[in-house]
Amino acid sequence: MHYTTLVQAVYYAPRGKKRLMHLGMLVSQRYLGADDRLIGVVGDAGAGKSLLIRGMFPGLVLTNDDNGVNVRPLPVLEDARNNFFRMHTYHIDVRFEMAFTPLWELAEAVEKAISEGHRVVAEHFDLLYSLLNLNAEVLIGVGEEVVVTKPTIFGPFPSEVAKQAYDSLVYRKMAHSAEDLTSIIFEEMGSELPRFHSDVRRGFVVEFTREPDVDLYEVERRVLDYIREDLPICYYDDKSILIGEERLECSGPRIHMKSTGEIKQFRLEKEFQYSPISKTFLLAGRVG
């Protein structure tokens, strides 16, 4: 028998539907075993847990998706009550289901499905663990970063991974909101808009095909003006947001602060960095 010991794998939690689903696919390929039956995912609402799960398990019907389409009755609960499991893999959003079903009954249904050889993917797994008393075979936290672990009986435990995810998500939201404000300023100054987006801890990276002829001190000052105005940031649709009255295309419209005033300690690096490999000019912004 072959064992793989994984302490922790950490990835930047990317912006945008496609990048999150692609990361989910990679996580599945690298860390999910064919016999893994309990997959725990933890993190706050809007972190991108569902998109990551869609990437990990293409075709899996999520019982509570972002469009408010809820599968009723809950398949794993119904099948546990009927003593007949129809599916190989089940999904459950524990926080959502607690509004309809006692937590102990959810735990019993999940435990029964696992004992019968079926797989359960549980969002907000930290809420279920206290009654299940069984740790996930793959435990994933989604915050500023995506943290992947393969726990043993000695941990890590869901509460530890959840705290890391919850505490760090605010930096990802601040960075994403600040990045969109920066793009607005570049457009206002008549510059080329960023063609690519990348990641850096507690911040963002935008890439240009040619070096913009702009004063980065002025860019930073104008972004700070937007922040001081404390404009509301609202979801508009799957491809755009509203900042104040201005509509802006965005690949991750749910991952934002509620207003520009919630962005703390924004600053720009004051020079572009040239990448000789990609032949692009990179600019980093920081928050927090």
CA angle 42/108/154 to nearest 5° reads 50
Q: Looking at the chain, which residues constitute the CATH 3.40.50.300 domain(s)?
A: 9-156
Q: What is the reported pLDDT for 196?
A: 77
Q: Looking at the chain, which residues constitute the CATH 3.30.980.10 domain(s)?
A: 170-286
- Tell me the three state secondary structure of residue 10: strand
Q: What is the reported pLDDT for 3?
A: 52
Q: In the structure encoding, which two tokens stand for residue 66, read together?
A: 């972002």
pTM score: 0.89
Tell me which residue has tokens 């002025």. Answer: 218
Q: What value does the mean pLDDT take over residues 106-118?
A: 97
In the sheet where 233-237 sits, what is the strand order?
A: 233-237, 240-243, 246-249
> Closest Cα to residue 182, out of 199, 201, 206, 202?
206
Specify whether domain 9-156 bears CATH 3.40.50.20. Answer: no
| Spatial contact of 63 and 75, defined as CB atoms under 8 Å apart | yes
Q: What value does the mean pLDDT take over residues 235-263?
A: 91
Q: What is the reported pLDDT for 228?
A: 97
Q: What value does the mean pLDDT take over residues 265-277?
A: 95
Residue 117 burial (C-beta neighbours within 10 Å; 0-12, 13-18, 19+)? exposed
- Tell me the three state secondary structure of residue 241: strand
Q: What is the reported pLDDT for 281?
A: 94
Q: What is the reported pLDDT for 197?
A: 79
**Topology adopted by domain 170-286:** Threonyl-tRNA Synthetase; Chain A, domain 2 (3.30.980)
* Residues 55-109 pLDDT 10s: 999 999 898 765 555 778 899 999 999 999 999 999 999 999 998 999 999 999 9
